[in-house]
C-alpha cells in the first residue's frame, strides 16, 4: 500500500481539526488521472466544508484549486503522459446527463467540487477524471496557476455569462482583496468596464487600483452605497459583484442603478441578507445567483491568461503542514489575492 502526506479532518470544527497525516494514495480507475500536487490554493469553500457544509464522508481532504504534474494515468488514457504539467478543473460532474452533454456540466444533478464531494488537493497526490485535466498555462508558476480555476471561472460566470457585462458598464466589486474580487476587477477591465472596488484598508485599496479599479472605497469608514452614488453622479452601477452576503446586501441593492443587476456567488458574512422588495420590483433590479461555470469556459479564460490579459495574484505561500495557519489568515480576511499550499 502506497501512502502520501495530506491534511485531513475527522470531524467538523475550527482550523485545529486539520491534521497532517499519512493516508493511502488514491487508486485509479481506467478513466482517471493521478496528479502529483505542486500547489493548491485556498478558497472560502474550504472553510465552509471544514465547518460542516454538506454531507462529507470522513476523513476528508479539502482543496479545489490544484496545479501539478501527472504521476499516473488509467488504462484508457492515451493522450496524457507521466511528468506532464497540468491544471485541474475543480467541477466534477457525471459526464452523461443532458446538462453535461450540452456543455452545462455545472448544472449536472450530480455536480460537486473537488475538495467538497471528493478528496481534494491538500495532499501530495490527487486523482480526478480525465475530463478535469486542463492544459498548463506556460506563463505562470505552479503557485500562480493554482490560483486560477475556481475563482476566475466563478467571476467569469458571474460577469460574462450571467450579467452580460459590456464596455462602459459601471461595476461594483465587493471585497476586492478576495480571490473573487481580484478576478472580477481584471475581467471587468478586460471587457472595458469601469470598476469601483471596496476593501477594508488602505493597502488593499491601493492594490485594487493597481489591478485596474478606477475608484476604491474603504467600506469600514464610509457607506459604500452613498459613495457609489456620488461617484456615478446619482446613477448607481450597472452590475454589483456580491459575494459577502448579509453585511453588504442592503447596500448592494441601493448601489445598483434602475434596471441594474446584482449577481451573487456566496455569502461569507452570512446568508440571510435583508431585502427591501420595493427596491427590487420598483427599480426593476435583477438578482442573479451564480456558482462556478462549465469546464469548457476555462479554456477561454486560459487563453486570456496566456495572453497576459488576466493574472492570478498570490498573497502568501504556506507549506502544506501549515494549512491551519493559512485557514486562520483567510478567516481574518488579511490577504489580498490567494493563499497557496505547497507539499
Strand, helix or coil at 86?
strand
Per-residue pLDDT band at 273 (split at 50, 70, 90): confident
Domains 3-148+312-342 and 152-289 alike in fold: no
Between the alpha carbon of residue 26 and those of residues 36, 60, 323, the distances in Å are 11, 13, 21
The CB density around residue 21, as the number of other CB atoms within 10 Å, is 16
The CATH number of 3-148+312-342 is which of 3.90.180.10, 3.40.50.2020, 3.20.20.100, 3.40.50.300?
Answer: 3.90.180.10
Q: Which sequence spans correspond to the domains of the chain? A: 3-148+312-342, 152-289
How does pLDDT run across 295-322, given as a tens digit for each residue? Answer: 999 999 999 999 999 999 999 999 999 9
Can you give the pTM of this predicted structure?
0.93
Residue 266: pLDDT over 90: no
Rounded CA separation 86/69 (Å): 6
How does pLDDT run across 171-218, given as a tens digit for each residue? Answer: 999 999 999 999 999 999 999 999 999 998 999 999 999 999 999 999
Give 246 or 110, the one with higher predicted confidence: 110
The CB density around residue 129, as the number of other CB atoms within 10 Å, is 17
Per-residue pLDDT band at 157 (split at 50, 70, 90): very high
Q: Which of 296, 7, 291, 1 is nearest to 126 (CA)?
A: 7
Q: Give the phi and the psi of residue 75 in degrees, each rounded to 5.
A: -65, -25
Q: What angle do CA 338, 118, 288 make, to 5 degrees?
A: 60
pLDDT at 145: 97
pLDDT at 98: 96
pLDDT at 299: 95
Residue 269: pLDDT over 80: no
- Beta strands 194-199 and 215-218: pairing type? parallel
How does pLDDT run across 65-123, given as a tens digit for each residue? Answer: 999 999 999 988 888 989 999 999 999 999 999 999 999 999 999 999 999 989 999 99
Name the superfamily (CATH) of residues 152-289: NAD(P)-binding Rossmann-like Domain (3.40.50.720)
Amino acid at each position: 500500500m502506497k501512502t502520501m502526506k495530506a491534511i485531513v479532518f475527522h470531524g467538523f470544527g475550527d482550523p485545529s481539526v486539520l491534521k497532517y497525516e499519512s493516508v493511502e494514495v488514491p487508486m485509479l480507475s481506467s478513466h482517471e488521472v493521478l496528479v502529483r500536487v505542486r500547489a493548491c490554493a485556498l478558497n472560502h469553500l474550504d472553510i465552509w466544508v471544514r465547518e460542516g457544509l454538506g454531507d462529507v464522508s470522513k476523513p476528508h481532504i479539502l482543496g479545489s484549486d490544484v496545479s501539478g504534474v501527472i504521476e499516473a494515468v488509467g488504462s484508457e488514457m492515451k493522450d496524457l503522459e507521466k511528468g506532464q504539467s497540468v491544471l485541474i478543473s475543480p467541477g466534477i460532474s457525471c459526464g452523461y446527463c443532458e446538462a453535461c452533454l450540452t456543455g452545462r456540466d455545472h448544472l449536472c444533478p450530480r455536480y460537486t467540487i473537488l475538495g467538497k464531494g471528493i478528496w481534494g488537493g491538500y495532499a501530495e497526490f490527487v486523482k480526478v477524471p480525465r475530463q478535469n485535466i486542463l492544459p498548463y498555462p506556460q506563463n505562470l508558476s505552479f503557485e500562480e496557476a493554482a490560483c486560477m480555476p475556481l475563482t476566475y471561472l466563478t467571476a467569469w460566470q458571474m460577469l460574462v455569462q450571467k450579467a452580460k457585462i459590456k464596455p462602459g458598464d459601471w461595476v461594483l466589486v465587493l471585497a476586492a482583496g478576495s480571490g473573487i474580487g481580484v478576478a472580477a476587477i481584471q475581467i471587468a477591465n478586460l471587457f472595458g468596464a469601469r470598476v469601483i472596488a471596496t476593501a477594508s484598508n488602505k493597502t488593499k485599496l491601493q492594490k485594487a487600483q493597481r489591478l485596474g479599479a478606477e475608484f476604491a472605497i474603504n467600506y469600514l469608514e464610509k457607506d459604500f452605497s452613498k459613495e457609489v452614488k456620488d461617484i456615478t453622479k446619482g446613477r448607481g452601477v450597472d452590475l454589483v459583484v456580491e459575494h459577502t452576503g448579509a453585511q453588504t446586501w442592503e447596500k448592494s441593492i441601493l448601489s445598483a442603478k434602475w434596471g441594474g443587476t446584482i449577481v451573487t456567488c456566496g455569502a461569507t458574512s452570512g446568508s440571510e441578507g435583508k431585502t427591501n422588495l420595493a427596491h427590487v420590483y420598483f427599480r426593476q433590479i435583477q438578482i442573479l445567483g451564480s456558482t462556478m461555470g462549465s469546464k469548457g469556459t476555462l479554456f477561454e479564460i486560459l487563453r486570456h491568461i496566456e495572453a497576459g490579459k488576466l493574472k492570478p495574484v498570490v498573497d502568501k505561500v504556506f507549506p502544506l503542514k501549515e494549512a491551519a495557519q493559512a485557514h486562520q489568515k483567510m478567516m481574518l480576511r488579511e490577504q489580498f489575492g490567494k493563499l497557496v499550499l505547497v507539499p
